[in-house]
């Protein structure tokens, strides 16, 4: 049983990590989110009821486990307060002994949200962000002008930060003066969050010294990583597994299991190249059956065939030991299942590795292989042998091409819709 497991998205996000974190959390002592903010939407079905988590780790519905938001996360305080209230109505036990909010995490303020909105609105090349203030908050962190949770919950330090910002930035000062209600809500959330704020990284490291098992949960996916993704069409943090190490700050050798989660097809939200995107009725079918609408923004997700070149790259960039192939059931009705094994580029010819440049990727057309569809329902619980032969053949081909085992398969939305293969 591994000490530190990292769960990372192996595509452009929305792979269904939340469900798997919820399942794997059963055997862990702590679940900690390592990056992102309320741009994420992790959908869980608890006792048949759907709940979307944006900031709180997906282990919160287990009674005993500690849930933490680590230094690499950005936090929207007012939204986090609402989320805590919401999950309580779903029966989650939330108290400061089991929800730890890192004092080091940076705060998304109303000003950062405004900057995100303005940039998206005014830019000739919008990224298609979630407009949750993610980019500007990480920018402020890197520029060392941000405010961290530990300072935010201290009234004097928060007021000082606001007055310094207002003194140096007229646009900030106007926003602060003109949006009093929003800023008051932002400030009042500090009192409610203060009891949860702690040195979460130190406390998790202590747990590891005691041999307690920790799961580090990513948000988004490796192809949206600020360094390794399809820049600039990425989010503003290190979504790949390396981000987990930086966010917790610990001995990287302690990570002994890295699991990538990928859908059996591909989706993307927002702008950016997506070679296997489908604009036909198959794409519409996948979108409809897979309910491919953003859990955070409600935007329709772009859908396409599984891109093995991109997946292999994401697996490499995160050092995944194994893959979870999720939402296989969405392909149940299809006659043929295609998957992209190479790209054809007008100038560079055939590519079998993922290009560093989003411009190159945008000019690539996919080279497909295919397998026959299984045209039947998939078993909905732990019964790998019961998978139809054609589904097994698809999984085997994915394993061969990506180079890591598929250890679990998702065949439905609920906790029990999980097949453990290896
Ligand atoms: P931001 O993270 O809001 O700055 O958005 C940057 C890019 O990441 C956009 O293409 C978003 O659609 C995408 N993105 C952010 N969060 C998620 C997510 O949870 N799932 C899928 N895409 C996301």
The pLDDT tens digits of the residues spanning 292-334 come to 988 778 889 999 999 999 999 999 999 999 999 999 999 999 9
Given the structure tokens 């700050």, which residue do they identify?
249
pLDDT band at 4 (very low <50, low <70, confident <90, very high): very high
For residue 83, pLDDT beyond 80: yes
For residue 39, give the ligand 1 atom closest to its CA: 16
Average pLDDT value for the chain: 95
Mutational pocket test of ligand 1: of 42, 129, 298, the residue with most ligand atoms within 8 Å of the beta carbon: 129
For residue 337, pLDDT beyond 90: yes
For residue 338, pLDDT beyond 90: yes
* 408 DSSP β-pair partners: 324, 420
**In this predicted structure, what is the pLDDT of residue 161?**
98
For residue 381, pLDDT beyond 80: no
For residue 148, pLDDT beyond 90: yes
Record the tokens describing residue 9, joined without a space.
Answer: 């998205």
Q: Cβ distance 357 to 309 under 8 Å? A: no
Tell me the Ramachandran region of residue 386: left when phi exceeds 0, alpha when psi lies from -120 to 50, beta otherwise. alpha
Q: Whose CA is nearest to atom 2 of ligand 1?
A: 235
For residue 272, give the ligand 1 atom closest to its CA: 10
The per-residue pLDDT for range 183-217, each reduced to its tens digit, is 999 999 999 999 999 999 999 999 999 999 999 99
Q: Can you tell me the distance from the alpha carbon of 385 to that of 201, in angstroms, rounded to the nearest whole number?
A: 42
Among 42-46, 54-58, 170-174, name the one with the lowest average pLDDT.
42-46
Given the structure tokens 């997700």, which residue do they identify?
301
Complete DSSP assignment for 82-118: HHHHHHHHTT----TTTEEEETTSEEPPHHHHHHHHH
Model pTM?
0.96
Q: What sign for the dihedral angle of Cα 394, 398, 401, 403?
A: negative
**In this predicted structure, what is the pLDDT of residue 415?**
81
DSSP state of 285: H
Give the distance, in angstroms, between the CA of residue 153 and the centroid of all CA atoms in the same chain.
Answer: 26
Report residue 61: phi and psi, to 5°. Answer: -85, 0
Q: Whose CA is nearest to atom 20 of ligand 1?
A: 13
For residue 386, pLDDT beyond 90: no
Q: Cβ distance 326 to 343 under 8 Å? A: no
Q: Cβ distance 343 to 279 under 8 Å? A: no
Q: Is 345 a catalytic residue?
A: no
Q: Can you tell me the distance from the alpha carbon of 36 to that of 41, in angstroms, rounded to the nearest whole number?
A: 10
Q: Can you tell me the distance from the alpha carbon of 196 to that of 17, in angstroms, rounded to the nearest whole number?
A: 25
Q: Can you tell me the distance from the alpha carbon of 99 to that of 96, in angstroms, rounded to the nearest whole number?
A: 5
- Separation of 116 CA from ligand 1 center, angstroms? 12
17: helix, coil or strand? helix
**In this predicted structure, what is the pLDDT of residue 35?**
98
Ligand 1: residues with CB < 6 A are 12-14, 39-41, 127-130, 132, 134-135, 219-220, 224, 233, 235-236, 269-270
- Separation of 376 CA from ligand 1 center, angstroms? 33
**In this predicted structure, what is the pLDDT of residue 63?**
87
- Separation of 63 CA from ligand 1 center, angstroms? 30
- Separation of 294 CA from ligand 1 center, angstroms? 10
- Separation of 236 CA from ligand 1 center, angstroms? 9
Q: Can you tell me the distance from the alpha carbon of 211 to that of 206, in angstroms, rounded to the nearest whole number?
A: 9
For residue 373, pLDDT beyond 80: yes
- Separation of 269 CA from ligand 1 center, angstroms? 7
Q: Can you tell me the distance from the alpha carbon of 41 to that of 52, in angstroms, rounded to the nearest whole number?
A: 6
Q: Cβ distance 87 to 80 under 8 Å? A: no
Q: Cβ distance 262 to 306 under 8 Å? A: yes
- Separation of 379 CA from ligand 1 center, angstroms? 32
Report residue 260: phi and psi, to 5°. Answer: -95, 140
29, 42, 106, 417: which is the annotated catalytic residue? Answer: 42
Q: Whose CA is nearest to atom 11 of ligand 1?
A: 129
**In this predicted structure, what is the pLDDT of residue 1?**
76
Helices 308-318 and 389-402 sit at what angle, rounded to 10 degrees?
Answer: 60
Q: Cβ of 373: how many Cβ atoms within 10 Å?
A: 17
Strands 266-268 and 302-304: antiparallel
For residue 269, give the ligand 1 atom closest to its CA: 12
pLDDT band at 45 (very low <50, low <70, confident <90, very high): confident
Q: Can you tell me the distance from the alpha carbon of 363 to that of 347, in angstroms, rounded to the nearest whole number?
A: 9
Helices 170-178 and 180-193 sit at what angle, rounded to 10 degrees?
Answer: 90
**In this predicted structure, what is the pLDDT of residue 144?**
98
Mutational pocket test of ligand 1: of 7, 8, 13, 112, the residue with most ligand atoms within 8 Å of the beta carbon: 13
Record the tokens describing residue 263, joined without a space.
Answer: 């859908």
Q: Is 154 a catalytic residue?
A: no
pLDDT band at 42 (very low <50, low <70, confident <90, very high): confident
Mutational pocket test of ligand 1: of 130, 218, 222, the residue with most ligand atoms within 8 Å of the beta carbon: 130
First to last CA, the chain: 14
Mutational pocket test of ligand 1: of 35, 39, 138, the residue with most ligand atoms within 8 Å of the beta carbon: 39
14, 22, 307, 329: which is the annotated catalytic residue? Answer: 14
For residue 169, pLDDT beyond 80: yes
The per-residue pLDDT for range 247-299, each reduced to its tens digit, is 999 999 999 999 999 999 999 999 999 999 999 999 999 999 999 988 778 88
For residue 129, give the ligand 1 atom closest to its CA: 5
């Amino acid at each position: 049983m591994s000490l530190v497991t990292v769960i990372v998205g192996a595509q452009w996000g929305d792979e269904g990590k939340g469900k798997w974190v919820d399942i794997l959390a059963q055997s862990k002592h702590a679940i900690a989110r390592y990056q992102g903010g309320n741009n994420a939407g992790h959908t869980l079905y608890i006792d048949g009821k759907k709940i979307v988590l944006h900031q709180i780790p997906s282990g919160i519905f287990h009674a005993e486990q500690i849930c933490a938001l680590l230094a690499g996360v950005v936090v929207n305080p007012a939204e986090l307060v609402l989320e805590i209230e919401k999950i309580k109505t779903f029966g989650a036990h939330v108290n400061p002994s089991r929800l730890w909010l890192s004092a080091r995490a940076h705060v998304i303020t109303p000003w950062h949200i405004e900057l995100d909105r303005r940039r998206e609105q005014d830019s000739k090349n919008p990224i298609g962000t979630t407009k949750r203030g993610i980019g500007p908050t990480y920018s402020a962190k890197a520029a060392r002008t941000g405010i961290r949770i530990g300072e935010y919950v201290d009234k004097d330090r928060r007021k000082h930060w606001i007055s310094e910002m207002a003194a140096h930035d007229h646009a900030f000062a106007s926003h602060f003066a003109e949006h009093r209600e929003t800023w008051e809500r932002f400030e009042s959330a500090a009192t409610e969050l203060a009891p949860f704020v702690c040195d979460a990284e130190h406390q998790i490291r202590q747990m590891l010294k005691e041999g307690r098992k920790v799961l580090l949960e990513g948000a988004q996916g490796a192809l949206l990583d600020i360094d390794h993704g399809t820049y600039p069409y990425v989010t503003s943090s290190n979504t790949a597994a390396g981000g987990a190490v930086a966010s917790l700050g610990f001995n990287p050798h302690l990570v002994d299991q890295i699991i990538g989660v990928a859908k059996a097809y591909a989706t993307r939200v927002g702008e950016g190249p997506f070679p296997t995107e489908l604009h036909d009725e198959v794409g519409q079918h996948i979108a409809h059956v897979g309910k491919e609408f953003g859990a955070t923004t409600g935007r329709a997700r772009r859908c396409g065939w599984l891109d093995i070149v991109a997946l292999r790259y994401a697996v490499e960039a995160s050092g995944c030991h194994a893959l979870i192939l999720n939402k296989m059931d969405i392909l149940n009705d299809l006659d043929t299942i295609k998957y992209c094994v190479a790209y054809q580029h007008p100038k560079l010819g055939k590519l079998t590795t993922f290009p560093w440049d989003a411009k190159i990727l945008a000019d690539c057309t996919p080279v497909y292989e295919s397998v026959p569809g299984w045209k039947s329902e998939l078993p909905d619980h732990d019964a790998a042998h019961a998978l139809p032969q054609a589904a097994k053949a698809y999984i085997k081909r994915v394993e061969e091409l990506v180079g890591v085992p598929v250890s679990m398969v998702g065949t439905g939305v609920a906790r029990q819709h999980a097949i453990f293969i290896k």
